Amino acid sequence: MLKLNLLGIAGLCFIASSFMGCTAQKGETPQGAIIDTGFTRASVQFTNMLDTVAKYRTDNKFLPKSVGKDGKNTLSGIYDWTSGFFPGSLWYLYEYSQDQKWKAEAEKWTSFLEPVKDFHGHHDVGFMIYSSYGNGYRLMGNDAYKAVIIQAARSLSKRYNEKVGAILSWDTDKGWQSERGWEYPVIIDNMINLELLFKATEFSGDSSFYKIAVSHADRTLENHFRPDYSSFHVVDYDPETGEVRHRHTAQGFSHESAWARGQAWAVYGYALCYSATGDERYLVQAQHIADYILNHPNLPADLIPYWDFNDPKIPNTYRDASAGAIIASALLSLADMADPEKAATYQDAAVKMLQSLSSDDYLAKPGTNNGFILKHSVGSIPHDNEIDVPLSYADYYYLEALLKYQAILKAGN
Ligand code: GLY
């Protein structure tokens, strides 16, 4: 059905092209126009970003993150969880454009993160290294990048506790704290770090990384979800017994609410676990989470979620474009794995999300938005931090989803 529609519109484009100069986009069909729109805008915005960032730091070993209350760009150090996203976006821009300029920038910004391979101060090593070095290795295949990925997996593995069967997200003497006191906080976001572990086993043959990833995914599946398949943000374990102590939020509206980006990490995480293992339980879980999101009565018509599905101020509260971009990317992975009927539902929803994100409502006008691509994301409302701003990871997952969509169109689906 979908293929017939694509052919029908492509045919119209062919006829129209005889009269109106309708040109095929890189996505090959008019549907693919959003891919060109997004990447053309990314090229303009990141050119501006590189100029802007050069004014802030001469050594450049600080990476674009967001925009502060003073309207200036905020930058992250290399050990911040967001450090890999700008290099990763540069890799996506190179992948799309094949322009050597973007390859050189991607290599340069990726190289800043090399010391992160030995870092184990929090769980986000996977986000940081896989977005940057992981994409670099996927595109370049160089051994030096592979070595960084494997060493980073060793570092991340140091945060695994056999008793709990999961990776410790945050050290309890640092970072965000709970009023009840955390002993071994594991957050749903941690699912994304598993990709680094799965890939490290593939690249090294060392199955210990894979086993940690599977154990973490299983413990999270067991303890992080409510009966409706929404996810808690933080599950705090007893590190001596492995028992669950509390289920909390740090960034959501309340402990019982469904923080939108947490749901996004959950669906993305189980889709990647299925892709890495072929274990049907992970596919089923990812589909349940996707269905929870897509059928939620508080999901707006443009399919870009409010920052928390249960904020009582809906509709008078903030959207989170980052959650929309992550969910769109996850749904496009699911569209490649699910049975045909579900695949069509997920693909249609993802494309609608990408159309929304590529509209003036979210896509920055050229030369605005401090060099970021998307507007209207939320970092953490409870911490009064990064509210209704651009975020480097919204841009990263938007570009990733556009590339997945391009691959789907090229395959004729
Ligand atoms: N991983 C942190 C966040 O999603 O805000």
Q: Write out pLDDT tens, residues 336-394.
A: 999 999 999 999 999 999 999 999 999 999 999 999 999 999 999 999 999 999 999 99
Give yes or no: 124 in active site. yes
In which band, very low, low, confident or very high, does the pLDDT at 181 lie, cut at 50, 70 and 90? Answer: confident
Residue to mutate (ligand 1; options 65, 187, 189; most atoms within 8 A of CB): 189
Amino acid sitting at position 90: L
Contact between 398 and 350 under an 8 Å Cβ cutoff? The reply is no
Mean pLDDT on 285-301? 98
Catalytic residue among 51, 118, 124, 388: 124
Could you report the per-residue pLDDT of 98-146, keeping only the tens digit for each? 999 999 999 999 999 999 999 999 999 999 999 999 999 999 999 999 9
Ligand 1 center from residue 189 Cα (angstroms): 6
Q: Is 282 close to ligand 1, i.e. is its CB under 6 Å away?
A: no
Q: Which atom of ligand 1 is nearest to the CA of 265?
A: 4
CB atoms within 10 A of CB 353: 27
pLDDT higher than 80, residue 54: no
Peptide bond just before 315 cis, omega within 30 deg: yes
Query: CATH no. for residue 240?
Result: 1.50.10.10
Mean pLDDT on 225-238? 97
- Torsion (CA) 85, 88, 93, 99 in degrees, nearest 10: 130
In angstroms, rounded to a whole number, what is the distance separating the alpha carbons of residues 32 and 149?
A: 33
pLDDT of residue 288: 98
pLDDT higher than 50, residue 153: yes
Considering only CA atoms, which residue is closest to atom 2 of ligand 1? 189
What letter would DSSP give residue 365? Answer: P
Q: Which atom of ligand 1 is nearest to the CA of 251?
A: 5
What letter would DSSP give residue 137? Answer: H
Mean pLDDT on 71-89? 95
Percent above pLDDT 70 for the chain = 90
> Could you tell me if residue 390 is inside a domain?
yes
Give yes or no: 238 in active site. no
Strand blocks (E) in 52-174? 63-67, 73-76, 160-161, 166-167
> Could you tell me if residue 13 is inside a domain?
yes
Could you report the per-residue pLDDT of 203-219, keeping only the tens digit for each? 999 999 999 999 999 99
> Token pair of 95, please?
């992948």
pLDDT of residue 332: 98
Closest to 402 (Cα-Cα) out of 81, 26, 121: 26
Mean pLDDT on 192-204? 98
Ligand 1 center from residue 212 Cα (angstroms): 21
Q: What are phi and psi of 269, to 5 degrees?
A: -65, -45
Residues 6+ apart with CB under 8 A from 45: 364, 366, 369, 371, 372, 373
Query: What is the average pLDDT score of the chain?
Result: 91
In which band, very low, low, confident or very high, does the pLDDT at 180 lie, cut at 50, 70 and 90? Answer: low
pLDDT of residue 174: 62
Residues 6+ apart with CB under 8 A from 190: 123, 166, 167, 169, 216, 220
Q: Is 65 close to ligand 1, i.e. is its CB under 6 Å away?
A: no
pLDDT higher than 80, residue 3: no
pLDDT of residue 32: 86
Ligand 1 center from residue 246 Cα (angstroms): 20
In angstroms, rounded to a whole number, what is the distance separating the alpha carbons of residues 142 and 219?
A: 34
What letter would DSSP give residue 369? Answer: G
Ligand 1 center from residue 131 Cα (angstroms): 14
pLDDT higher than 80, residue 252: yes
Q: Is 80 close to ligand 1, i.e. is its CB under 6 Å away?
A: no
Q: Is the dihedral of CA 360, 128, 388, 327 positive or negative?
A: positive
pLDDT higher than 50, residue 329: yes
Looking at the structure of the chain, the number of domains it has is 1
Q: Which atom of ligand 1 is nearest to the CA of 189?
A: 1
pLDDT of residue 131: 98
Contact between 123 and 158 under an 8 Å Cβ cutoff? The reply is no
In the numeric block, the tokens 């590190």 are attached to: 239
pLDDT of residue 177: 67
> Could you tell me if residue 154 is inside a domain?
yes
Considering only CA atoms, which residue is closest to atom 5 of ligand 1? 379
Per the structure, the complete domain to which residue 269 belongs is given by 6-411
pLDDT higher than 90, residue 53: no
> Token pair of 49, please?
């970003």
> Token pair of 200, please?
């490290």
Mean pLDDT on 174-197? 86
Q: What are phi and psi of 234, to 5 degrees?
A: -115, 130
In which band, very low, low, confident or very high, does the pLDDT at 60 lie, cut at 50, 70 and 90? Answer: low
Catalytic residue among 189, 308, 311, 320: 189
In which band, very low, low, confident or very high, does the pLDDT at 176 lie, cut at 50, 70 and 90? Answer: low
276 class by beta-carbon count within 10 Å (0-12 exposed, 13-18 middle, 19+ buried) = buried
Could you report the per-residue pLDDT of 5-23, keeping only the tens digit for each? 332 333 333 323 332 333 3
Q: Is 386 close to ligand 1, i.e. is its CB under 6 Å away?
A: no
> Could you tell me if residue 1 is inside a domain?
no
102-132 burial: b if 16+ Cβ within 10 Å, else e = bbebbbebbbbbbebbebbebbbbbbbbbbb
Q: Which atom of ligand 1 is nearest to the CA of 187?
A: 1
In which band, very low, low, confident or very high, does the pLDDT at 61 lie, cut at 50, 70 and 90? Answer: confident
Contact between 288 and 266 under an 8 Å Cβ cutoff? The reply is no
pLDDT of residue 253: 97
Residues 6+ apart with CB under 8 A from 57: 75
Q: Which atom of ligand 1 is nearest to the CA of 124?
A: 1
pLDDT higher than 70, residue 239: yes
> Could you tell me if residue 94 is inside a domain?
yes
Q: Is 219 close to ligand 1, i.e. is its CB under 6 Å away?
A: no
Alpha-carbon distance values, 246 to 180, 181, 226, 235 (Å): 8, 9, 13, 6
